[in-house]
């Protein structure tokens, strides 16, 4: 690596390079400056779409809402890196406020045409510094790499060079749409034979108030129940109040949520699947969380909520072309459900962590 020297003021961090390839300035993103926000969005889109034809395109509206909205769940610090005055990279740095408060997590993106000029490294070191300053112990990042080329990918070398260690691997899979409704109906019927007495229901938008608490209780288990490798998560703290807050945030972003829940005879949500459709990129649907509580497994409820969600999706987003999802490699049961539905693997999502203090 070329020699680099950091100096800082209260808000700006200057990195001077000794190789003649320009100096780097890292500072907070000016969230009220429309032109700078647009430039940051352009760098983010260019980074995430580089050599990834299936990349989910985050719209300017979605980014603006993230940047300009307050949250009681997490605090966002956005940073930008400028190379000789041109915005080259952006880092979104989140600080959980209700749970997992020893961690921070971040996304770092650099425009491909301005890479290898120190922007990414300067941003990463700023994230580490901020994590340490806030008294937190670990910063988490993720990186997409080709499924067959993860051992020596440039993103892997970059993470390791900056002191991060591998923590977990997920596989991104795509499901091409539309699906055969007859086949979906057959899968639903086969699954229903295994969970007599349970209800499987889909809701577009907010769940009924009567289901919100048990849905939150179920969702809060995802980080501790699903395989997460070396990352040690604690249960989350989603409540009906913060659930509604997050739904309002998604609505402002132009996103529609399709909740599908498995309801036990007791009336409580014991399994769920969430699909999210963006009005600004309706071709690509994101499958977020899916979980069935341990004591209710073995009844094909995972298949049931996924199939019912896909059936509802055909009405909500009839022109959608794909559903995207990620699962840990070792999550054999959920991977099996996805493969039975027809999901195909396209890339690896690698999680890395750096411990900054004991």
Shared domain for 24 and 82, answered yes or no, is yes
- Structural domain total, the chain: 2
Shared domain for 119 and 268, answered yes or no, is no
The verdict on residue 169 lying in a domain is no
Shared domain for 51 and 196, answered yes or no, is no
| Rg for the chain, CA atoms, rounded | 21
For residue 91, give the 3-state DSSP assignment: strand
The verdict on residue 199 lying in a domain is yes
Shared domain for 193 and 273, answered yes or no, is yes
Taking the whole predicted model, whether its pTM rises above 0.85 is answered as yes
The verdict on residue 16 lying in a domain is yes
For 227-250, the pLDDT digits (tens) are: 777 888 999 999 999 999 999 999
The verdict on residue 9 lying in a domain is yes
> Mean pLDDT, to the nearest integer, of 13-28?
70
Q: Is the pLDDT of residue 1 over 70?
A: no
**How far, in whole angstroms, is CA 213 from its chain's centroid?**
23
> Mean pLDDT, to the nearest integer, of 258-284?
97
Is residue 8 very low, low, confident or very high in pLDDT (cuts 50, 70, 90)?
low
| DSSP states along 251-312 | HHTTEEEEEEEEE-TTS-EEEEEEEEEETTSTTEEEEEEEEE-GGG-SSSHHHHHHHHHHHH
Shared domain for 183 and 309, answered yes or no, is yes
- Reply yes or no: is the peptide bond before residue 91 cis, omega within 30 of 0: no
Shared domain for 208 and 332, answered yes or no, is yes
The verdict on residue 340 lying in a domain is yes
Please tell me the distance from the alpha carbon of residue 35 to that of residue 42, in angstroms, as a whole number: 11
pLDDT at 228: 77
The token pair that represents 251 in the structure block: 């609505």
Shared domain for 99 and 178, answered yes or no, is no
Q: Is the pLDDT of residue 13 over 70?
A: no
| More confident of the two residues 20 and 113 | 113
Other CB atoms within 10 A of residue 189 CB = 10
pLDDT at 6: 55
For 73-125, the pLDDT digits (tens) are: 999 999 999 999 999 999 999 999 999 999 999 999 999 999 999 999 999 99
Number of H helices, E strands in the chain: 10, 14
Per-residue buried b or exposed e for 212-242, using 16+ beta carbons within 10 Å of the residue's own CB = bbbbbbbbbbbbeebebbebeeeebebbeeb
pLDDT at 14: 58
Average pLDDT, the chain: 93
pLDDT at 276: 98
> Mean pLDDT, to the nearest integer, of 312-340?
94
Other CB atoms within 10 A of residue 320 CB = 18
Boundary (domain end) residue, out of 115, 136, 157 = 136
Report the half-sphere exposure of 327 (CA within 13 A, side-chain side): 19
Shared domain for 132 and 183, answered yes or no, is no
| CATH number of the domain enclosing 93 | 3.40.630.30
Shared domain for 118 and 253, answered yes or no, is no
Shared domain for 127 and 181, answered yes or no, is no
For 302-321, the pLDDT digits (tens) are: 999 999 999 999 999 999 99
- CA-CA distances (angstroms) from residue 269 to 209, 274, 324? 12, 13, 24
Under 8 Å between Cβ of 295 and 287: no
Query: Strands 103-110 and 138-146, how do they pair?
Result: parallel
Task: List helix spans (H) across the chain.
Answer: 34-49, 60-68, 119-133, 154-161, 181-192, 209-219, 222-225, 240-252, 301-316, 332-341
Residues of the domain holding 89:
4-136
Please tell me the distance from the alpha carbon of residue 89 to that of residue 158, in angstroms, as a whole number: 15
> Mean pLDDT, to the nearest integer, of 140-148?
93
The verdict on residue 141 lying in a domain is no
Q: Is the pLDDT of residue 288 over 80?
A: yes
Shared domain for 100 and 196, answered yes or no, is no
Instruction: Give, in degrees to the nearest 5, the angle at Cα 113 between 108 and 119.
Output: 40
């Amino acid at each position: 690596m070329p020699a680099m020297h950091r100096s800082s003021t209260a808000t700006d961090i200057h990195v001077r390079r000794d190789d003649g390839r320009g100096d780097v300035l890292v500072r907070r993103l000016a969230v009220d400056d429309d032109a700078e926000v647009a430039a940051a969005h352009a760098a983010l889109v260019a980074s995430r779409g580089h050599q990834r034809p299936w990349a989910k395109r985050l719209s300017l509206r979605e980014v603006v809402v993230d940047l300009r909205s307050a949250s009681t769940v997490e605090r966002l610090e956005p940073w930008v890196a400028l190379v000789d005055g041109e915005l080259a990279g952006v880092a979104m740095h989140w600080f959980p406020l209700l749970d997992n408060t020893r961690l921070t997590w971040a996304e770092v993106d650099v425009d491909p045409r301005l890479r290898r000029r120190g922007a990414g490294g300067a941003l990463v070191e700023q994230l580490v510094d901020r994590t340490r300053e806030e008294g937190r112990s670990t910063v988490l990042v993720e990186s997409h790499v080709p499924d067959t080329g993860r051992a020596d990918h440039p993103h892997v070398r970059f993470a390791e060079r900056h002191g991060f260690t591998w923590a977990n691997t997920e596989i991104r899979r795509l499901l091409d749409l539309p699906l055969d409704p007859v086949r979906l109906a057959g899968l639903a019927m086969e699954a229903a034979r295994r969970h007599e007495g349970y209800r499987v229901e889909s809701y577009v938008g907010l769940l009924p108030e009567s289901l919100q608490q048990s849905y939150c209780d179920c969702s809060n288990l995802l980080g501790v129940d699903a395989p997460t490798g070396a990352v040690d998560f604690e249960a989350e703290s989603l409540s009906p109040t913060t659930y509604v807050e997050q739904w309002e945030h998604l609505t402002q972003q132009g996103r529609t949520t399709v909740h599908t829940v498995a309801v036990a005879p007791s009336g409580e949500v014991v399994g769920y699947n969430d699909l999210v459709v963006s009005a600004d990129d309706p071709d690509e649907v994101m499958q977020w969380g899916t979980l069935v509580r341990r004591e209710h497994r073995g009844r094909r409820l995972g298949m049931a909520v996924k199939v019912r969600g896909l059936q509802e999706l055909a009405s909500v987003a009839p022109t959608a072309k794909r559903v995207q999802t990620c699962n840990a490699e070792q999550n054999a049961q959920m991977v099996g459900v996805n493969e039975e539905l027809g999901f195909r693997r396209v890339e690896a999502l690698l999680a890395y962590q750096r411990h900054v203090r004991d």
